[in-house]
Amino acid sequence: MKKRTWLFVTVVFCFGFEALLVILRPTLGLLLHTRIERFLADRFQSQVSISEFRFSFRPLPKVTIVGLTLRHHNRSDIAPLLHIAELSLTPDLTSLLRPKLRFASVQVNGLELTFPPRAPTEARKKDSSFDLPAKFPLLVAELTARNVTITLLPARFDKRPLVLMLGQLKFRNLNFDAPSEFEAQLTNAVPRGEIHVKGTFGPWHGLEPTATPIQADYEFLHADLGTIRGLRGMLSSTGNFAGPLDYLEVHGNTVTPDFTLARVGNPLELRTEFSAVVDGTNGNTYLHSIAAHFLSTTLYVNGEVVDLVSGIPARTIILQAESNSARAEDLIRLAVKTPSPVLKGPVRLKARIRIPEQDKDLSDRLDVAASFLLAPGEFGNPSLQGKVDALSRKGLGQPKDMSIAHVPSRLDASIHTVQGIVHFSKIAYAVPGAHLNVLGSYTLGKGTLNFRGYLFLDASLSQTTTGIKSLLLKPVDPFFRSPDGGTKLPVKITGTKDHPIFGLDRNKGDKRTVARGIAANLR
């Protein structure tokens, strides 16, 4: 009898509880609707609109919100701060009557976040009371969002907004009054690659969303540099960043095992360590320091990558680079399409690099002003080095002394590269017994040479050869005597980097007639 009584009581209780839930469902739904809407409006300082709000008990308590929109400070002149296509929440009903509302899980599909530009300083001071808002009672154990678009609006209307596309975004222990753990997966557009981010976000800054702090580690894998015109290679990067969204300090490193300029086609491994500040509202990057390592060379770089021109999907790159321990053969391999380097040796250099925002190949956009000193250097091509050795022997007045070989070279130059042409405003080249001062240009890609200047020899012209030629040249020694007693000759260098042609510039000065007669003697 007791068992039947307990069974009857249980059945009655279950039906009664079900009936009670049916009766209370509109009340609970309204309570949840009101509390959620009020929380969002207060915490995000936004106007809240909801297209549809549904509350159900089966199989578990669940809230479904369709078309949730938040307009920051009720602004209608810009996109909503937040728009969600569909939002599903599993609330803890026991928390309805407690100070802190708790959700076991939140599922979001189609999340669009638009961060407005930070207000001017005066406006922030005027509303400074919002900087220390009261604690808002909400805890989400786990939030998962898919198909996420984050847009950060620039302060200037003529600039492109920064748009991030996230495949998935997860939060754990989401509490708007304290930092929350998060994890995100996104695809970067340029260079194209997958980025995985894990860290903490918040607490949310109601007055200025872009002032919300974030701290995280990242992995940027399989980034295709081919999506940047003029580059080739697959880059990987790891590091960390921290700060408010509009001032993120980033530290990391990159590895590109097959980096090359597309026109050059000499792949090499490039490794970097860097420290930078990124303005998350527009993607502008300010490089405090970069150490770039390739082959036996290390370059130290600083500068910025900024959006200066509207309407072009690129950024202007402005860099300053220097090194006291570079190698000429490494720099040539990086910048020149050649099977073997023309010069070898240690180089000291300083350079200013500017790559403007244009829809052209990188080599055509490259604007480089640099000065460098190579000492001591040696030509990698045996034929070229042989000519240099011969020049040194003649300059010393010992044309037959074959022990003068493999002479070191010293090269001091200043260049300016524009639209694929390297203009040399200074070339001071020296070997024992001779030095050359010329100006001219070198065309990237084609490798053509066009230089004019003067060759100075320690010896007199007649001492550069022997026998009857030496006797014949003695009468013309005075015409080419330099102020220090040696020889000064007008010269030109033409041809290509692989087959340079050295000769007298017969069209330079009043000595062209005499030069024609002695040109053969200098070969």
β-pair type (138-152, 101-115) = parallel
The pLDDT of residue 505: 81
- In angstroms, the CA 216 to CA 249 distance is 11
The answer to whether 223 and 192 have CB atoms below 8 angstroms apart is yes
Residue 385 C-alpha from the chain's centroid: 39
The pLDDT of residue 20: 38
Instruction: Tell me the pLDDT tens digit for each residue of 370-398.
Output: 998 999 998 888 888 898 999 999 999 99
Q: How confident is the model at residue 189 (pLDDT cuts 50, 70, 90)?
A: confident
The pLDDT of residue 443: 84
The pLDDT of residue 129: 39
Whether the per-residue pLDDT at 304 is higher than 50: the answer is yes
Domain boundaries, the chain: 6-118+135-178, 214-357, 381-522
The pLDDT of residue 59: 63
pLDDT higher for 474 or 364?
474
Beta pairing partners, 286: 277, 304
Amino acid identity for residue 90 in this structure? T
Q: Is 410 helix (H, G, I), strand (E, B) or coil?
A: strand
The pLDDT of residue 190: 75
Instruction: Tell me the pLDDT tens digit for each residue of 410-427.
Output: 999 998 988 778 899 889
Say what percent of the chain tops pLDDT 90.
27
Question: How many of the other CB atoms lie within 10 Å of CB of 388?
Answer: 22
The answer to whether 489 and 455 have CB atoms below 8 angstroms apart is yes
The pLDDT of residue 373: 94
Give 3-state DSSP helix, strand, coil % of the chain, rounded to 5: 20, 50, 30
Per-residue tokens: 115: 């961060």
The pLDDT of residue 45: 64
- In angstroms, the CA 358 to CA 60 distance is 56
Q: Read off the pLDDT of each residue in 96-114 and give the average, rounded to a whole number.
A: 77
Q: Read off the pLDDT of each residue in 19-41 and give the average, rounded to a whole number.
A: 57
β-pair type (421-431, 248-261) = unpaired
- In angstroms, the CA 487 to CA 433 distance is 11
The pLDDT of residue 299: 93
The pLDDT of residue 394: 93
Most confident stretch, 88-102, 122-136, 449-463: 449-463
Burial letters 482-515, b for 16+ CB under 10 A, else e: eeeebbbbbbbbeeebeebebebbeebeebeebb
Q: How confident is the model at residue 514 (pLDDT cuts 50, 70, 90)?
A: very low
Closest CA to 366 of 424, 316, 312, 427: 316
Q: Read off the pLDDT of each residue in 183-197 and give the average, rounded to a whole number.
A: 85
pLDDT higher for 361 or 185?
185
The pLDDT of residue 508: 62
Of 10-24, 69-83, 105-119, 148-162, which gets the smallest average pLDDT? 10-24
Query: Which residue is associated with the tokens 């890609």?
Result: 445
Q: How confident is the model at residue 96 (pLDDT cuts 50, 70, 90)?
A: low
Of 33-42, 48-57, 116-125, 432-441, which gets the smallest average pLDDT? 116-125
β-pair type (500-504, 487-495) = antiparallel
Q: Spell out the SS3 assignment of 292-339.
A: EEECCEEEEEEEEEECCCCCCCCCEEEEEEEEEEEEHHHHHHHHCCCC
Name, in order, each residue with C-beta under 8 angstroms of 412's C-beta and a sequence gap of 6 or more. Answer: 372, 373, 374, 426, 427, 428, 429
Per-residue tokens: 341: 């380097």
Q: How confident is the model at residue 337 (pLDDT cuts 50, 70, 90)?
A: confident
The pLDDT of residue 127: 44
Helix (H) or strand (E) holding 221: strand 213-224
The pLDDT of residue 435: 93
- In angstroms, the CA 265 to CA 236 distance is 20
Q: Read off the pLDDT of each residue in 231-241 and give the average, rounded to a whole number.
A: 92
The pLDDT of residue 239: 95
Q: How confident is the model at residue 35 (pLDDT cuts 50, 70, 90)?
A: low
The answer to whether 249 and 279 have CB atoms below 8 angstroms apart is no
